[in-house]
A and B are shown apart, each in its own frame.
Chain A
């Protein structure tokens, strides 16, 4: 279970999150929606462990482990995965070699033996087909020269290989056409299981037609201002966020 309690965080002295509380149980998919600048990406980064933020109050635990005390790679070892809103281009680092280093890094953290070359190659081939990633992209430098859609697909491809138990998707739908969106959603849905939790950050409800959430939360001014069932997303689509902000104020 992901438990975020009264989380206050700032960057360069500027408060972004102001007392955010959220619980996501195993097997659940939660959507986080909200206007630009509400702190959605900050929340995603804080769970994954991006440096540069200061947590002034509160906690984040995953299965009882204090995530804030762990390095990013240790969090990955605990099953955390963040699909980036803007996947980073890494010149000179081959996609496949990066993935193997990731798989083995996580296995080492868990005290498991390294993956064999044959098993790894089979895994890569299977997932490449499933996600519809162009094979030519596998041996290219990570995300370099990828189109916007290819980058997002690559994120879901990596996620399906690493099989996280807590997956955070930060606006994975932005920049995708409807076909790519369906493939990405398929990749996520295939991973849905009673052992996995998903936090899907999105600006639009469109994605939630394909990844159907159990709960929808609205994040504004650094805290959750409204939570509800799936239908809340439709309401937001129709009415926008302003009524909620006024309500919260």
Chain B
């Protein structure tokens, strides 16, 4: 019995209304019909889920979390915490959230407005939805739907933490996050995933951001699954007219991590910025697939990804850019720079451009390199011990991207990850001499 068959035993039923149950059943049928992708799919060439899909995953049961273990505690933010996909009010804090923000929990909606939920799930599991997006609609026990009224601007970030708690036997968690940012609204959204507990877990997360006209959304998404935690994340970003959506994908931990980021520029003046930093060491596997769809004229996309692989780690970056026929004045840039730190590590970086228009400016580049020997010698000749010189150079590789994140707590999350691999680093970066 594989992933889908074992999950089938847990889905359906519950206390949900007929409409919601039907929507979930349809979503599951869609996922089942498409099947778990294998390396035979072009999109999954480098990432083999065979090890996961063969296991008997069950939906993760409700669990609680000790508040002490929450990451990003020092961040001044409105905070919503979900444990195994379910809202955890004790760890959440929405005090003095402005009136322009509406927060809906899927679990509540199933009781208060089942028709809304049924439609919500059906929209997600539309016929074009990929397996894991459909599976999320079928299996998410709860989730977050946030709506910003037009003109609403949040002065603090909205932090959404999804914890997956392993129970020993393979467990599937289905975090679900939708944000509807109204016209001229502004939001910093921080989404963080982490794993605790024992045994294999699979976090199948779905995030969707719909930004209205001139809305500006900065979405920072950190994957910090640990131990036997794997992660499949599907992110959909819809940019409004003259709007700006930024996504920063940080993958700092996880046994097997796959993140799909789809950006749609369907309105003139829309701008999309995609950034990413990932680290794959030991036996970790990290795969980013990004797709930018320039479906309207006067749209801009800018993408910078930096990846590091060490040990037996494996990194994949596939960046697809589609410029549709008849579209004018498009600017699309993409850079994927990668650093290999061991002879057993591997990184595959591939830009994939599909251009059906003439009036555009397009630049892309992918590099895979090693640590700069000249830089290493320069630092050592100054008296910096080799281990420290290496730590500085490795962090230096991602520094400029990381320091573009306007939240110190998030930057600290990254430096902590780098310090884990190079314990000397923490001290080297301490202090302030600016």
Interface residues in chain A, defined as those with a beta carbon under 8 Å from any beta carbon in chain B: 48-51, 71-73, 75-77, 80-82, 84, 87-93, 96-103, 105-106, 108-109, 117, 120-121, 124, 138-139, 141-142, 158, 162
Contact = CB atoms under 8 A, between A and B. Distances in A.
B380 A138 contact: no
Contacts of B375: 88-90, 93
B69 interface: no
Nearest to A83: B381
B395 interface: yes
Contact of A48 (B381, B392, B396, B397): B381
B393 interface: yes
11 contacts: A49-B380, A51-B377, A76-B382, A81-B381, A88-B374, A88-B378, A92-B395, A97-B433, A120-B433, A121-B433, A141-B400
B303 to A, nearest CB: 19
Contacts of B393: 90, 92-93
Given A72-B381, A88-B375, A92-B396, A97 B428 contact: yes
Nearest to B380: A72
Interface string B107-138: 00000000000000000000000000000000
B375 to A, nearest CB: 5
Contacts of A109: 383
Contact of B429 (A97, A99, A102, A158): A97
B275 to A, nearest CB: 15
Contacts of B389: 73, 101
B385 interface: yes
A139 B429 CA distance: 12
Interface string B367-400: 0000011110111111111101100110111111
Given A93-B392, A93-B393, A103 B398 contact: no
B428 A73 contact: no
B400 A102 contact: no
A187 to B, nearest CB: 16
Given A90-B378, A91-B396, A93-B399, A124 B433 contact: yes
A90 B392 CA distance: 10
Contacts of B428: 97, 100-101
B406 interface: no
Contacts of B386: 71, 73
B381 A76 contact: yes
A138 B372 CA distance: 22
Contact of A90 (B373, B385, B396, B434): B396
B431 interface: yes
Given A51-B377, A124-B433, A106 B383 contact: yes
A72 B400 contact: no
B384 A101 contact: yes
A105 B377 contact: no
Contacts of B381: 48-50, 72-73, 75-76, 80-82
B384 A102 contact: yes
Nearest to B428: A101
